[in-house]
Structures are given as structure tokens and as C-alpha cells.
């Protein structure tokens, strides 16, 4: 018998001064049985950093041809493809061919090793950006995970503060690959 996804609900308030985006989102997140709280919270962080009325969670772990998050235009063309973790370079190159922009949020102590192995193969992907979330920050994010969450994300001058309850996690992303390289 297959295990079912666990459903999480989050009210997410985003104040992104860098993009002039301010909004509240009622999110329903299906956490795959093999997904950790840490990975799920990094997906929510990625949502907050790209918040838009057309941004949606994909099937992620359960489907090979869908990202963790994506944004399609009204014609169905993929504007933004977001991956979380350390995806295979073939998957990323395929995504770069399908979407106008591809963004990866890597988050573990092995991220540097992963990136050093695939950086050369991904150098030609001009519409790819890759960011790394420090392991201590992703671990702190996982402590915010609850079945029902009230979350706030504030972005100003490249600095990110992600809050839930009485806990605030400061996040400083490092860039492995910038767009239009």
C-alpha cells in the first residue's frame, strides 16, 4: 500500500522590497512521503522569493517532468521553472529548453560537491540561475514546519528574513551561477 502525501497549510505574507512585491498567499503544500520538513520549507522559501499570482507548486518528487514550482503564462508556456535540492544536470538542461528561466535552490552540506561536478556541463545554460542556501539556515527553516503555519518573508537589499511564530531565520543565499552568464 502506497503512503499518501501529508497536507500542510501555510498563510504566507511576503514583503519583497527588492521586487516591490507585497502579498499574502494561502498555500496548500503536499509533502511527499519521502520529502523532509527541510526540503518542504525550502520549497516554501522559493515560493516566497518568486511569489506571483501565477506561481504554483508542481508535482515535484512524484513526477519527472514537472518542477517543484513553476509559473506559466496564460498560453501555457513556462516562464519560470524552480528546482529544489541537487537535480541532475540532464534534468536542468531539459528544463532550460522548456522554460524561459530556470532557478535552482540547493541546500545541503554536499551542495559544493554537487555544483563542482555539474558546473561545467551547465555553463552553456544561459537562462539558469543556481543559489545555495547554507545548511544551518535550511535546518533552521525546518524547525518552522507545522501542519498549519503563519509565515512571513521579508526581502530587502538582498537580505532575507523568514519568520514563523516567534522564530526568525536570517538567510543569506550564495550564488553558484548567475543568469545570463
Chunked into runs of 10 residues, the chain (181 residues) has average pLDDT values of 84 97 96 92 97 90 81 96 95 96 94 95 95 95 96 96 94 88 42
What per-residue confidence (pLDDT) applies to 33? 87
Please list, in sequence order, all residues whose beta carbon lies within 8 angstroms of the beta carbon of residue 154, skipping any fewer than 6 positions away: 15, 16, 17, 160, 161, 163
Q: Tell me the CA distances in angstroms from 2 to 5, 7, 33, 34, 58, one per residue in order.
A: 10, 16, 9, 11, 20
Phi and psi at residue 93, in whole multiples of 5°? -65, -40
What per-residue confidence (pLDDT) applies to 57? 93
Closest CA to 81 of 102, 63, 51: 102
DSSP string over 126-160: TTEEEEE--HHHHHHHHTT--SEEEEEEEEETTEE
At 64-101, the pLDDT tens digits run 778 999 999 999 999 999 999 999 999 999 999 999 99
Residue with cell 535550511: 138
Residue with cell 502506497: 2
Enter the C-alpha cell of residue 153: 518573508
Q: Which fold has domain 6-177?
A: Restriction endonuclease-like alpha-beta roll fold (3.10.640)
What per-residue confidence (pLDDT) applies to 181? 42
The answer to whether 164 touches 150, Cβ cutoff 8 Å, is: yes
Count of alpha carbons within 13 Å of 75, Cβ hemisphere only? 3
Phi and psi at residue 163, in whole multiples of 5°? -125, 150
User: What does the alpha-carbon distance between residue 78 and residue 27 come to, in Å, rounded to a whole number?
Assistant: 21
Amino acid at each position: 500500500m502506497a503512503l499518501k502525501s501529508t497536507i500542510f497549510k501555510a498563510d504566507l505574507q511576503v514583503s519583497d522590497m527588492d521586487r516591490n512585491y507585497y502579498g499574502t498567499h494561502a498555500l496548500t503544500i503536499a509533502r511527499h512521503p519521502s520529502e523532509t520538513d527541510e526540503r518542504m520549507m525550502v520549497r516554501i522559501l522559493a515560493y516566497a522569493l518568486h511569489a506571483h499570482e501565477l506561481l504554483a507548486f508542481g508535482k515535484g518528487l512524484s513526477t519527472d517532468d514537472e518542477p517543484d514550482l513553476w509559473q506559466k503564462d496564460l498560453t501555457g508556456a513556462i516562464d519560470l521553472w524552480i528546482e529544489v535540492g541537487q537535480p541532475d544536470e540532464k534534468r536542468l538542461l531539459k528544463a532550460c529548453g522548456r522554460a524561459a528561466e530556470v532557478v535552482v535552490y540547493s541546500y545541503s552540506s554536499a551542495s559544493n560537491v554537487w555544483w563542482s561536478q555539474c558546473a561545467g556541463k551547465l555553463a552553456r545554460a544561459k537562462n539558469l540561475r543556481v543559489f545555495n542556501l547554507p545548511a544551518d539556515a535550511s535546518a533552521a527553516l525546518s524547525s518552522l514546519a507545522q501542519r498549519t503555519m503563519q509565515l512571513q518573508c521579508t526581502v530587502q537589499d538582498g537580505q532575507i528574513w523568514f519568520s514563523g511564530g516567534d522564530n526568525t531565520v536570517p538567510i543569506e543565499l550564495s550564488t553558484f551561477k548567475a543568469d545570463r552568464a
